[in-house]
């Protein structure tokens, strides 16, 4: 009855990684210890490759565990920037104090987000456990929206 059902690992993405930005280790301790509301984890969840460019931009509040998934047109930096701007405008700057993400190319717009006053921190490459709650929630969302349905 496991969610993964013994599926094998698929090869990693070949789009490359973003090697710039501030490390998660330099982030605020209140975000690491989940002491205050306003620190978010972000990522993208793709649909089946080649068939559709649409995907989700899931956001997870580290303290509140509020999980928001926004459907975006593609996995580009422009689409991700729109989703993050939507999050900031919807919740307000006081409720979005920082964003932690992986080093995917979709966050190449991080400098423009930081200009809005929201620092962006990047997890180490191949270290999904640094954002484990979000990875678990993505798995739960995938149960209801399989790759073929997005």
CATH number, domain containing residue 35:
3.30.420.10
For 66-74, what is the mean pLDDT?
92
Residue 4 lies in a domain: no
For 121-144, what is the mean pLDDT?
87
Percentage of residues of the chain with pLDDT beyond 70? 82
Q: Does the pLDDT of residue 17 top 70, yes or no? A: no
Q: Does the pLDDT of residue 34 top 80, yes or no? A: yes
pLDDT of residue 68: 94
Residue 56 belongs to what domain range? 22-144
Residue 57 lies in a domain: yes
pLDDT of residue 91: 93
Percentage of residues of the chain with pLDDT beyond 90? 39
Residue 59 lies in a domain: yes
pLDDT of residue 6: 65
Q: What is the 3-state secondary structure (H, E, C) of the chain?
A: CCCCCCCCCCCCCCCCCCCCCEEHHHCCHHHHCCCCCCEEEECCEECCCCCCCCEEEEEEECCCCCEEEEEECCCCHHHHHHHHHHHHHHHCHHHCCEEEECCCHHHCCHHHHHHCCCCEEECCCCCHHHHHHHHHHHHHHHHHCCCCCC
pLDDT: is 128 or 60 the higher one?
60
Residue 51 lies in a domain: yes
Residue 14 lies in a domain: no
Q: Based on the structure, what is the number of domains in the chain?
A: 1
Residue 64 lies in a domain: yes
């Amino acid at each position: 009855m496991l969610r993964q059902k013994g599926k094998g690992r698929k090869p990693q993405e070949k789009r490359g990684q973003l090697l710039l930005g501030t490390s998660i280790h330099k982030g605020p301790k209140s975000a690491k210890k989940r002491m205050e509301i306003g620190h978010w984890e972000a990522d993208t969840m793709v649909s089946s490759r080649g068939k559709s460019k649409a995907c989700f931009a899931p956001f997870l509040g580290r303290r509140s565990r509020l999980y928001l998934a926004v459907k975006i047109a593609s996995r580009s930096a422009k689409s991700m920037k729109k989703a993050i701007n939507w999050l900031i405008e919807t919740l307000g700057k006081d409720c979005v104090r920082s964003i932690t993400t992986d080093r995917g190319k979709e966050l190449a717009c991080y400098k423009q987000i930081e200009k809005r006053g929201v620092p962006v921190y990047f997890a180490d490459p191949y270290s999904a456990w640094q954002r484990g709650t979000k990875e678990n929630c993505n798995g739960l969302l995938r149960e209801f929206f399989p790759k073929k349905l997005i």
